[in-house]
Structure 1
Amino acid sequence: MSIAEAYNNWANTYNEVPNKTRDLEARAIRKSLENGGFEHSLELGCGTGKNTFWLAEHSKNLTALDFSEKMLEKAKQLDPENKINFQQTDLNKTWPVPGENFDLISCSLVLEHIKNLDFIFAEANRTLKKNGSFYLCELHPFKQYLGSKARFETKDGTKELEVYLHHVSDYIGAAEKSGFRLKKINEWFDKDQKEIPRLISFIFKK
């Protein structure tokens, strides 16, 4: 099953079923970008819009891309005035947006489904303005080492999605290769900071 097909199947229950990773990431992005006011923003992997409408409140213009047609349908239902530019897109191919156009790119819980990080960072560099920010937040590789991955329940049982393991050094190395500098790195815990962190976030600057 492709990633797009998997998320199409997940779309109907994605917002309703409790999900610690999704809900913690929603807090992480709001904390990380709470002081930002952005002219043009680009969201990679917007899904059903868990962060999209918060980003729209902090941006004059927002473009939101996602693999999944069904996820986008859910998100669009929350945007009756069509203020957000939603586009179905394979992020592994050249993004359908102009170069040097955005001052923020956000990417949340997406890159575990992307094998080639170099391409993502190269496209981010192409589409960001000078001094633009690239925020990304992913399942912490420590969690992946223990077998955690994106999964959801269906009437036929648990469906696990295809994922790729990226080490912390992989993110930083791919970013540096495309000319980014690391501005901030943070780890996000469920509750007890003596436990393994669930998420890791980065803010890179072009």
Structure 2
Amino acid sequence: MTSYELDARVIPHADRHSTILATFDALAVQESFVLVNDHDPVPLRGLFEREYPRGYDWEYLDEAPEWRIRITMLAATPLPRLLADTADLAGPTAEADLFGAVWRLDVAERDLDANVIAIAPEGRIATHAGPDLDVLLHVIAGSGRVVTERDVVPLGPGGLVWLPRRSQRSIEAGPDGLRYLSVHRRKPGLSIRSTR
């Protein structure tokens, strides 16, 4: 088992987590490094738990005033895992955020975006042209409809609906509201390009 030290105290704060994750990603299975820090990096441990659950080992070697933690890679890639139970997200106790999401896929390194969206009874998402991405909806609770340029697609529990990229649609909830899982390719991040 290979092991070397990475002193977090000398890494600029803004780059600390990304540098530590990149160091971890460069390890082979069963290799490790010792992280040296001036405090217990609890938020970093939470980040490892979110990104690599069951795929790493976190062993405290020394604590205050100088924290030393051996971090070992246990799996070559992030492991498959249960993210949520849609039955728990189907009911009214799951609170929606400002954008209507009651759940979001929040793994940093991913190719997909996924959300569980809640629309209030008789609520709607106004008519719009979709993004330049195909979207798949899976209805988990409630009822409603997708109104397209030419027709209406009814929605009910278990319904699986494909929304082709750039298609014009509105989504309307029925009297009991509507909750659905939305999945699509991850949208590219914003970038600044030269106009020359």
TM-score (norm 1): 0.29
TM-score (norm 2): 0.30
Q: Relative contact order: is structure 1 or structure 2 higher (C-alpha 8 Å, sep ≥ 6)? A: 1
- Rg larger in structure: 2
Higher strand share: 2
